[in-house]
Chain A
Amino acid sequence: MSDGIKKFMFVNTKAPYGTVYALESLEVVLISAAFDQSVSLVFCDDGVFQIANNQKTDDSGMKNFSPAYKALGDYDINKLYVEKESLEERGLTLDNLMALTYEDEDDDWAEKPSIILVTRAELADLMDEQDVVISS
């Protein structure tokens, strides 16, 4: 692209705790936002649990870092694709996820939802449009 902006998609497929993948991916996402690229996130498979609401980690000894996803809007990351089939396979609905939002600069800072529910087929098409897809 002539303006140098590339489309990055970070695909999250793993549960938030037990491994470091989710936290490390989130840190890479926040760092990537500093470079003014077009960044979107995908939550599929067990990755949907990363943005589940009411996470409690006291017994696991790991820090509950889920509040950090609420800061994504501040970082101008406002396309969070959630795969419909992954939610359904786990008996979840959008109501089980955090209400992640962003403020639209072009619409008088109106608060809008960042989460976009997509089917597996739609997600495949979205991935085709990307310059870079990073999966963890």
Chain B
Amino acid sequence: MATISVEGKEIEVDEEGYLVNLDEWFPAIATEMAKIDEVEMGDDHWDIINFLREYYEEYQIAPAVRVLTKAVAKKLGKEKGNSKYLYELFPYGPGKQACKFAGLPKPTGCV
């Protein structure tokens, strides 16, 4: 099993880099995963990551990108709830990459 090292802790990840134990997540894990993917985390990234964690808390699923886009538009405004904006933040796909940083499973319906 692969691991990443965050603040002295060895965190287990699967072959695609997603957390194995979702309960282990803490913010520095997102920062470390972002570093590996060469993404520089800013407030805009955290808005989406926090949003995803709240969504998962409520529905117990990681939303498909279409659903994420719609939900972000509703909560954070249209200028953020569009795929161009979200792909700029998370170039490997807002569904897959942001969910990974947020410690969520790979989105259901992500094909």
Chain A positions within 8 Å of B, measured between CB atoms, are 27, 30-31, 33-34, 63-65, 67-68, 70-71, 74-75
Q: Which residue in A63, A64, A65, A74 is a CB contact (below 8 Å) of B71?
A: A74
Q: Chain A: which residue is nearest B58 at the CB level?
A: A67
Q: Report B-chain residues with C-beta under 8 Å of the C-beta of A74.
A: 63, 67, 70-71
B60 contacts A by Cβ under 8 Å:
yes
- Is the Cβ of B109 less than 8 Å from the Cβ of A68? no
B66 contacts A by Cβ under 8 Å:
yes
Measured CB to CB, the closest approach of chain B to A37, in angstroms, equals: 13
Q: Report A-chain residues with C-beta under 8 Å of the C-beta of B5.
A: none
Query: Which 6 A/B pairs are nearest by Cβ-Cβ distance?
Result: A71-B59, A30-B109, A31-B109, A68-B61, A30-B108, A67-B60
Chain B positions within 8 Å of A, measured between CB atoms, are 58-61, 63-64, 66-67, 70-71, 108-109, 111
Q: How far is the CA of A64 from the CA of B58 in the complex (A)?
A: 12
- Is the Cβ of A75 less than 8 Å from the Cβ of B67? yes
Q: Which residue in A34, A64, A71 is a CB contact (below 8 Å) of B61?
A: A71
Q: Chain B: which residue is nearest A64 at the CB level?
A: B60
- Is the Cβ of B63 less than 8 Å from the Cβ of A71? yes
Measured CB to CB, the closest approach of chain B to A128, in angstroms, equals: 28
Q: Report A-chain residues with C-beta under 8 Å of the C-beta of B108.
A: 27, 30-31
Q: How far is the CA of A74 from the CA of B69 in the complex (A)?
A: 11
Of B63, B70, B108, most buried by chain A (CB within 10 Å of CB) is B108
A-B contact pairs, 19 of them (CB 8 A): A27-B108, A30-B64, A31-B108, A31-B111, A33-B64, A34-B64, A34-B66, A34-B109, A34-B111, A63-B60, A65-B61, A67-B58, A67-B59, A71-B63, A71-B67, A74-B63, A74-B67, A75-B64, A75-B67
